[in-house]
Chains A and B, each alone.
Chain A
Amino acid sequence: EAGVVQSPRYKIIEKKQPVAFWCNPISGHNTLYWYRQNLGQGPELLIRYENEEAVDDSQLPKDRFSAERLKGVDSTLKIQPAELGDSAVYLCASSAEGVPNTEAFFGQGTRLTVV
């Protein structure tokens, strides 16, 4: 069974440019998460989806970040415009719907470098 797939693995952009990350969760997992992991730190939740609905986006910087999950499967996370401080690894994860305290399965992440 395929795991969580993210692309691209690496991205280098100049500040003020836009960037987008894509995630395909595990088949049948209706809960999808986007996390940001800064160097030397643990992941921090940006947004959580239940199907198409963003049920927790309290940590998403809405002035420049946006996310969507059309049809409740794949998701994209966008930054526009990017800032130097956005350099981090962006992780996507998924878990079974409506099952609290269940394991989240993570993708390998997209490492973003803003120069």
Chain B
Amino acid sequence: GNSVTQMEGPVTLSEEAFLTINCTYTATGYPSLFWYVQYPGEGLQLLLKATKADDKGSNKGFEATYRKETTSFHLEKGSVQVSDSAVYFCALSDTGGFKTIFGAGTRLFVKA
């Protein structure tokens, strides 16, 4: 069945460092891919998404490219800030588009 695997955390970086959080998926058909973020004390919120191969989603300085050949959707940011400290979830929705499957989440700590 469909599944999402993302790198284990926690990831600890210094402010202004480069961030990569790896995400790979297994799916039939043509899923859409998402990154959700959960800040401390808040609910999950969508960070970015891509709906077809080679699409790049971007938001708040974060980017991820839908790579069908490597079944990956890695999250990147060129310069992280303390305020980026959160848990990041990679997710996919099935071809029908209504069932979202989440990875286990990666906790990011950014030190000043």
Contacts and interface: CB of A to CB of B under 8 A. Distances in A.
A103 B35 CA distance: 11
Interface residues of A, number: 25
A42 B89 contact: yes
B43 A42 contact: no
A95 B47 CA distance: 15
B43 A43 contact: no
Interface stretch (B13-21, B70-78, B94-102): B94-102
B75 to A, nearest CB: 14
B99 A48 contact: yes
Contact of A48 (B45, B46, B98): B98
Contacts of A41: 104-105
Contacts of A104: 46, 100
B99 A56 contact: yes
Interface in A21-69: 31, 40-45, 48, 55-56
B43 A45 contact: no
B99 A42 contact: no
A11 to B, nearest CB: 17
A42 B42 contact: no
A40 B87 CA distance: 10
A63 B52 CA distance: 39
A107 B41 CA distance: 11
A101 B102 contact: no
Interface of A: 3-4, 31, 40-45, 48, 55-56, 91, 93, 99-109
